[in-house]
Amino acid sequence: HSADDGWKIFVFTHAPPNGSGLRVLQENHVVNGCCWLNHSNEAQCRTFIELVREHRAIKAWFSGHFHLGQDYQDSITFPTIDPSEGPYPNRGSCVFAQTSVMRRGTSRDGRQQSRLLRGNKDGFEICTVDHQAGGKIRLDATITYKSTDHEVGVYAHDDEAYEHDAYFKVYTPTVGDQSYFCGAETEEECSITDDEPVSMETKIWWRLSSGRVLGVMNGMLLEYDSSTLAPLGLVLYADELIGKNIAVVDSGIDDCSLDDDEENMESLECDEDYYEREQAVIVHDLRDGKISVVQPNEDGSYWRKIVRNKIARMKEKRREQAAILYAQERLWQSDD
């Protein structure tokens, strides 16, 4: 289904893909590691944005996972952005749209809205249907096809959201922004907070030699995707970090980052493409001298896998129910 053949593909999923740029709630989805499609599997999580980048026939992607309204301007993101906002995000030729909820009691911000998609000869329009205003329709964005591989979006109105602080959007890094500090090329030691203890106002991020990206926002230490810089999950809670300092130091020998499937690995030598330093992320308190090491997971990631895979949990629940049924039918046990 090539874009060159005139295909226009629209995708609808519960959760959005990593790299969509939609508003994410730090206290809900980032902390629990459940922002994106297949979030629990790093390779699968990144697959969707890579498909969007490769296949420019994908023109729009709608999702409703966050249960937020459609009045925030970042409830819709375009494949291109103003250069003043940062580098090109590489969202292919796809517009991403957050969809709210219709039923009362399921919305995080009280809104009851849904999306209306209207096509025309030049592209399409994304609208809001307001169920609290008798189904009133509002134009949100107009998307125009410039070619089979490119489209341009224009917002139809300013951000109309209220109580932004109540639905705090997690900070998303951009390459070269003012909050970037201490890249992988930094030699031996990097004092992230520069002897200034972490506070609720601290906003900073850095890339380790391994390519992993960590950052501090809203008093918490978070991990971000190394490619899209989208938030992945929580590393340290605010009560574990505020008032303390962060440093990154070399912790061992230089290492090779090689593919375990390579043949004759004994004969392979490190080169510039595979070079990786072993590093330790250290949190220390200048007041009492206590120091702790933020250890990575076995797969090299740092964020806490708090919420386990939902399918795995559902299978476990069914096995438990089968065991209860067996006990009731075969072992003559009561429901208790």
| Shared domain check, 207 and 96 | no
172 within domain boundaries: no
**Quick one: 17 and 86 in the same domain?**
yes
Specify whether 282 is located in the same domain as 317: no
Give the tens place of pLDDT for each residue, 251-278.
776 555 444 444 544 444 555 544 567 8
Mean pLDDT of the chain: 81
Confidence of residue 197 (pLDDT cuts 50, 70, 90): very high
Instruction: Identify the domain containing residue 315 by its residue range.
Output: 310-336
Mean pLDDT of 142-164: 75
| Domain annotation covers residue 324 | yes
Q: Is residue 197 part of a domain?
A: yes
Q: Are residues 48 and 89 in the same domain?
A: yes
Tokens of 80: 């291109």
Based on the domain organization, do 112 and 30 belong to the same domain? Answer: yes
Q: Is pLDDT larger for residue 119 or for residue 286?
A: 119
- How far apart are alpha carbons 334 and 106 in whole angstroms? 36
Looking at residue 83, what is its pLDDT? Answer: 59
| Separation of alpha carbons 77 and 336, rounded Å | 52
Q: How far apart are CA 33 and CA 23, in angstroms?
A: 15
Nearest to 143, CA basis, from 116, 121, 125: 125
Q: Is the pTM for the entire model greater than 0.75?
A: no
Query: How high is the pLDDT of residue 294?
Result: 93
**Residue 172 — very low, low, confident or very high, per pLDDT cuts 50/70/90?**
confident
Residue 96's beta-bridge partner residues?
61, 77
Does residue 249 fall inside a structural domain? yes
